[in-house]
Structure 1
């Protein structure tokens, strides 16, 4: 869902700026950010409060259900970070700053995400939960 909001942001901002209306672009960005925050909070809260039963969607084995429950809070954090990054990248694309969006994506995934995942998985011994 976050990427849908990123696409919306890109389209609305580029249309408003192309029409010579930066004020409409600013309003569109604010509206999309508010919608994304509402979606992000809703999904994260549902996932956080249902993480003990979410595993049953994948398997009836208690071990799998337990592993999914352990990963719930990490998935919530991932949803929050990924949602914000997707919307802001969409705004950058819609503003004609494609290179900024590319740098943000590279930084978010390779300079931040990969090292943090490696530290969580191997240094802090969280295994698959850290990844």
Structure 2
């Protein structure tokens, strides 16, 4: 098992394990009850400046990903998140973005895998 990503708008399932919202802003239209979170870890999300800049320039995802990875390297919350994989059979990282391929959770999942965490595609 290990880390997986999932849109927060999808229904919670028992197989999700420990559910962590990794967005800085609360997703629109999602109640706290529907989200069924174990943790809202705002600190692992991209910085407000980076998120705002990227939001307006979606074609620059590669640049965003590189800058976000640099932020993660300096982020104590991200380093702590690596350890969650040892504490829980499965950790589901929840995000609100519409695009399942181009979003910060994809970058975060890859970064976790590069730092010793078990990740699932």
TM over 0.5: no
Which protein is richer in helix relative to its size? 1
Rg larger in 1 or in 2?
A: 1
Which protein is richer in strand relative to its size? 2
Name which structure has the greater RCO, CA cutoff 8 Å, separation 6+.
2
Give TM-score, length-normalised by structure 2: 0.30
